[in-house]
Amino acid sequence: MNAGAGRLAMGKQGQTTFSASSGEASEKRGLSLFPPVRVATEPWQNPVRAHHLLVLVFLIAFPIFATPFLTYQIGAQSLAFGLIALSLTFLGGYGGMISLAQMTVAGIAGYMLAIFGMSGEAALSLGWSWWIAVPIAILIAVIAGTGIGWLSVRTEGIYTIMITLAIGVAFYSLCLQNYSVFNGFQGFQRVYAPTVLGINFREQTPFYYLVLACAFGGYFLVKYILRAPFGVALQGIRDNPRRMNALGFHVIAHRVAAYAVAAFIAAVGGVLLVWYNGLITPNSVGTSWVINILIIAVLGGMRHPIGPFIGAVVFVLLQTFAIDLFDRERFNLVIGSVFLAIVLFSPDGLLGLWAAWKRKFLKPRGGIK
Amino acid sequence: MKKGALVRTLASAVVLAAFSGTVYSQQEVKIGLLATLEGPFAAGGADGMRGAELAIKQRNGMAGGRKIVLIKASSDAKPDVAVNATRKLVEQDKVDIMVGPLSGGEGIAVKEYSKTQPNITFINGSSGAQATTLVNPSTNFFRFNTEGAQWMVGLGKAALDKGYKRVMVIAEDYAFPYSQVQGFMSEFCRIGGKVPLKAWVPLGGKDYSSVIARIPKDIDALLVVLGGADAVNFLNQYEAAGGDKPMIGGSITVSQDVLNYKGKRRDSLVGTISAGPHADAYDAPEWKAFVADYQKNYPVSSGAYPTPSLFALVYYINMKAALDGLDAVKGDLSGGQAKYRDTLAKMTLKTPVGDVKLDANRQAIGTAFITEVVKDAQGGLHNKVLRKVDGVDQMLGMKKEDFKVGSRDEPNCP
Amino acid sequence: MRFRQWAWTLVLAVPLAAFAAWAIWDNAKLFFITLLNGLTLASLYFIVASGFTLVFGLMRNVNLAHGSLYLLGGYVGFFVAEKSGFFTLALLAGFVAAALIGLLMQVAVFRFMQGEDLRQTMVTIGLSIVIADLLLWGIGAQVHQMSAPDWLAGPLRGIPLITAYSKYRMALLPLGIIIGVLLWLFLNRTRIGMMIRAGVDDRGMLAATGVNVNLVFATTFAIGAGLAGFGGVIGAVELSMVPGEDVRLLLASLIVVIVGGMGSVVGAAVGAIILGVAETYGLAYAPTYSVVFTFVILVLVMAFRPRGILGQAA
């Protein structure tokens, strides 16, 4: 093999991809999929730009000019899925651990809410009020997510996908087969958002604002964490765990903590999703949705926390209006091909395409010819 | 700046799409049709759509003096997908009447949704779960087809007539088979039959070796309530394991899907009794006309079945109800469709398999057919009618106080 | 160390032995039939999972399209059997068809992504969705049940205690063993096998010794994919072919490989036996909790031996 091919084989970042020793496979797996993000640490390095304000105004004013259907089915649904996908982006893009168990964690939160709160299954639900049931559901989901993380971090990056997928499917099978707790195939119906202070959150517009608030919360939480020492350390661990270990950082603890944070975000998304659908069944946490969340995250791009939300909007739009554009039956083919195209040609998703377009067409004037 | 521009363009495109969906003329009636066109019931869903379209074709696309515009949607047997699709049809495409969905779990979810849209009339597609109209019924959700338990009325007696006194149940573990088993057992147990063992198989499980290993020696027959792939699989494995007990079929077990499957084992099905809302060989003129119409409009070469399946029939019945109702009110859907719904609740619907009336929960009271599998001259299998039972209601002939919705443990007669 | 190992073996073995004793006393026929069922299912899982672990072990490529290859092989085998009437031909056809597609995937797509494991895995996810939907579009959603060949159809009678057992299923036992032995011979007694084993240990060194690594990779992927297709034809008879089977078999392979050890064919055998037996006993004795057993095994293995029972540090 000639030297050129050898360099090619060594991977884009010039690091050794065929490491003889054990353990540090995270050095070699496809980090080229997620180029390092410049982390701004001073507020003046990250000013609020005009486009930020525009997006903010658009999102807040959305229910005013959109129909209730769009507000609810497109707006609220995308934001809820975007939140769950955000947890995957956080773990994958910034932690280097692609976990397919985020939908599972969201599902655990949803199921716990149905079991502890009120649902149509009087025999199985405890019927507690939402302000007890929701925190309990999120707490249980976070504990479960941390447990899943603890199990998954003891192996390297690429194994995480396999293990989390297996856990996700095991949970789906559990929900499907168990009747004493999870009510099997039926799942739980009539799990509705509560009426708080006179506002009925089952209505389209109040629910949209609730989801929007949570989405903002998740987004700014992630942005804050990324700039905090914990987040910076996490990205360092993503890039080179051995070096971070040598510097004295507890690699496993950081990773598990990242899982816990991601579990919290996914759990909130899960609660919102159950309220959106008004029900939860094993199919809500089945393989197709587990993979769909990954598709959403990759579609949008893992280089920035806005990516999953963009991916979710595109996904939900496609899913809703597919039947008007083409055969709804071939939806899977379309979404699979889009995903394939993104991974093959623009691994940074839509955000990557956007950045490439900017670079190509928005060259500064007077530049080098 | 540019990112905001992109978002705004996207927003305007979406808004445009939203408004373009609401253009319609006063003379048209929009009917939404939902069936599963993806996933395991895809073939049944496609046939259901054919049945519904046939009902419209038979009246040249008009009812009550207005033109019918059909808008289709698809789901994949998941309740959340079904609700999303229904929501789109009702709130985005602004349909006046909604027909669907196909499977039991979806039906319950769509019924719950229908309570949020009191001015739209929802008619069932083919979902057959008992709970849809028995538990928390919705005042604007109508089901003109009988459900899983009603379909099995009369089969208990037929089984005892054949000499099956001890029967083992092998069924999938979800609501529809529960109702089927209840429909069978409520009669069977009452007239002296015994069901020593019920084996509930997880949905999607393909390995029946464990269930087959547990079949006791002293039973007379197996009540197999599996659908589609699972039934085929079970038959195969059972024969290979040396099994020879006769079978009693649930309504979807010996349906067209299974009788048409591409394998060599179908001969073992001859003689199986079953029950359901229809039978291929029923000789009433209305039924024959329906079958002929289906075959004329949907030849096998276009992907249809040789004779209409259960899904085609049931979707046809429900769509016919919608259209007959429109005729009766002369197309008047004003006043929140109150008059329309009132007419639907009171009318007697003429279907290819007999008359159907609705009970107080807007659930159909109809006919059940007991059938037996026979082989015809061309070597094809179909169901011959042994008997039919009219006027089957959702209480299965029991008093309201005695009746409990079917579940894994209910009813029980070991 | 030795005491620890003994302690662990006892902790696991005693409850199992107690259960076995009770089950035999309660219904011996059921116990032994279930044992046979579990072992034969394990055989199928082993054949499919060995392909998966081969590809993973050498190329660090988690091929999540493995299930789609299983489905593809099954369908091809079904149609060949229908047209020609020969079961062995169908087996061969299933193997070859899947192997060709696998070869295509490796040469046209994965070769350019060497080293980017995560990206490769995502591509396999995309491919699995696309292939599954294309198959659904072209072949339809109906059941395709393949018949066992005449010489394997029907029950095998006259067995003591259990009386009768499916001939076809019984044949899976020796088949699994034969495939296992053939694979072992291939990996340990042929030149290419030697290169594959060397590559699993150290890819860089293998390239440095002048071996055409791309050829080795392509061969391995083809064999791995072919095994999936071969398993598909076997499964088409026993379990029937329907969209959805691809996901089921993929997950079974995942669990087998996680439990048994990644990159080890013997590990795949061990994992397959554990999974097959656990699943079958679970279904026979506690149907609503069978998945819990599988899950508990998965969690235990991941907690105490993250690389799998026979997995090497690599």
Q: pLDDT of B147-197, one tens digit each?
A: 889 999 999 999 999 899 999 999 988 888 888 999 999 889 889 899 999
Dist CA C262 CA C307 (whole Å): 7
Q: pLDDT at position B10, please?
A: 54
Q: pLDDT at position A31, please?
A: 37
Q: pLDDT at position A327, please?
A: 67
pLDDT over 60 at B12, yes or no: no
- H/E element, B152: none
Residue in A67, A293, A75 with CA at minimum distance from that of residue A165: A293
For domain A68-361, the question of CATH label 1.20.950 is answered with no
Which residues in chain A (331-360) have CB-CB distances under 8 A to chain B?
331-332, 354, 358
CA C164 to chain centre: 27
What secondary structure does DSSP assign to A185-220, as a single string?
GG-EE-----EETTEETTSHHHHHHHHHHHHHHHHH
Q: Is C247 exposed, middle or buried (CB count within 10 Å of its CB: 0-12, 13-18, 19+)?
A: buried
Dist CA C245 CA A344 (whole Å): 27
**Beta carbons of A362 and B14 less than 8 Å apart:** no
What one-character DSSP code corresponds to residue B279?
Answer: -
pTM of the model: 0.85
Do A124 and A265 meet the contact criterion of CB atoms below 8 Å apart? no
Strand-by-strand arrangement of the B121-123 sheet: B62-63, B66-75, B28-36, B97-99, B121-123, B141-142
pLDDT digit string, tens, across residues B23-65: 444 688 999 999 988 777 777 888 999 999 999 999 998 888 8
Query: How far is residue B388 from each of residues B158, B277, B283, B400, C128, measured CA to CA in Å?
Result: 11, 9, 12, 24, 48
C255 interfacial to chain A (CB closer than 8 Å): yes
**Any alpha helices (H) in A153-304, and if so which ranges?**
157-177, 204-227, 229-239, 241-246, 251-277, 287-300
Higher pLDDT, B403 or B70: B70
Q: pLDDT at position B195, please?
A: 92
What one-character DSSP code corresponds to residue B202?
Answer: P
Helix (H, G, I), strand (E, B) or coil at B75: strand
B127 backbone dihedrals φ, ψ, rounded to 5°: -65, 135
Candidates 1.10.3470, 3.20.20, 1.10.10, 3.40.50; CATH matching C38-304 = 1.10.3470
> What domains appear along chain B, each with residue ranges and CATH number?
25-145+283-362 (3.40.50.2300), 150-276+368-392 (3.40.50.2300)
Residues of B in contact with A70 (CB under 8 A): 14-15, 18, 92
CA B109 to chain centre: 15
Which residues in chain A (152-171) have CB-CB distances under 8 A to chain C?
152, 154-155, 157-159, 161-163, 165-167, 169-171
pLDDT (mean) for B297-314:
85
Residues of C in contact with A33 (CB under 8 A): 116, 118-119, 122
Which residues in chain A (227-286) have CB-CB distances under 8 A to chain C?
none
What secondary structure does DSSP assign to B294-333, as a single string?
HHHHS-GGGT--SS--HHHHHHHHHHHHHHHHHHHTTT--
Kind of pairing between the strands at B62-63 and B66-75? antiparallel
For tokens 């490439």, what's the residue? A356
CA contacts within 13 A on the Cβ side of B277 = 31
Residues of C in contact with B42 (CB under 8 A): 136, 140-141
Structure tokens at A350: 């839509």
Q: pLDDT at position A32, please?
A: 44
Query: How far is residue A341 from each of residues A82, A333, C243, measured CA to CA in Å?
Result: 21, 12, 24
Let me know the angle formed at the C-alpha of C100 by C95 and C104, rounded to the nearest 5 degrees: 150
B300 interfacial to chain A (CB closer than 8 Å): no
pLDDT over 60 at B88, yes or no: yes
Q: What is the length of chain B?
A: 414
Q: Which segments of chain A have a pLDDT < 70?
A: 1-47, 156-157, 327-329, 363-369
Which residues in chain B (227-286) have CB-CB distances under 8 A to chain C?
228-229, 232-233, 236-237, 239-242, 257, 260-265
**Beta carbons of B109 and A184 less than 8 Å apart:** no
Do B315 and B101 meet the contact criterion of CB atoms below 8 Å apart? no
Structure tokens at A153: 């971090």
Residue in C65, C78, C143 with CA at minimum distance from that of residue C105: C65
Q: Which segments of chain C have a pLDDT < 50?
A: 314
Q: pLDDT at position A280, please?
A: 93
Let me know the angle formed at the C-alpha of C68 by A34 and A30, rounded to the nearest 5 degrees: 15
| Closest residue in A to C299 (Cα–Cα) | A151
CA B12 to chain centre: 41
Dist CA C233 CA C86 (whole Å): 12
Q: Which candidate from C34, C142, C145 shows the least CB-CB separation from B236?
A: C145
Helix (H, G, I), strand (E, B) or coil at A323: helix
Q: What is the length of chain C?
A: 314
Dist CA C297 CA C292 (whole Å): 9
Structure tokens at B326: 């429109």
pLDDT (mean) for B14-22:
48
What one-character DSSP code corresponds to residue C154?
Answer: S
- H/E element, B370: strand B364-375
Query: How far is residue B83 from each of residues A244, A325, B107, B322, measured CA to CA in Å?
Result: 49, 20, 9, 20
Residues with Cβ within 8 Å of C119's Cβ and at least 6 positions away in sequence, in order, are A30, A32, A33, A343, A347, C113
B234 backbone dihedrals φ, ψ, rounded to 5°: -60, -45
Crossing angle of helices B338-346 and B310-328, rounded to 10°: 120
Kind of pairing between the strands at C163-166 and C155-159? antiparallel
Dist CA C1 CA C261 (whole Å): 21
Q: pLDDT at position A293, please?
A: 94
Q: pLDDT at position A45, please?
A: 56
Residue in A15, A64, A361, A23 with CA at minimum distance from that of residue A208: A64
| Closest residue in C to B201 (Cα–Cα) | C287
Dist CA A288 CA C246 (whole Å): 12
Structure tokens at B277: 């809302």
**Beta carbons of C142 and B214 less than 8 Å apart:** no
Question: Choosing among C41, C240, C246, C292, which should be mutated to test the B contact, i.e. which has the most B CBs within 10 A?
Answer: C240
Q: pLDDT at position A26, please?
A: 38
pLDDT digit string, tens, across residues B115-144: 999 999 999 999 988 888 988 899 999 999
A174 interfacial to chain C (CB closer than 8 Å): yes
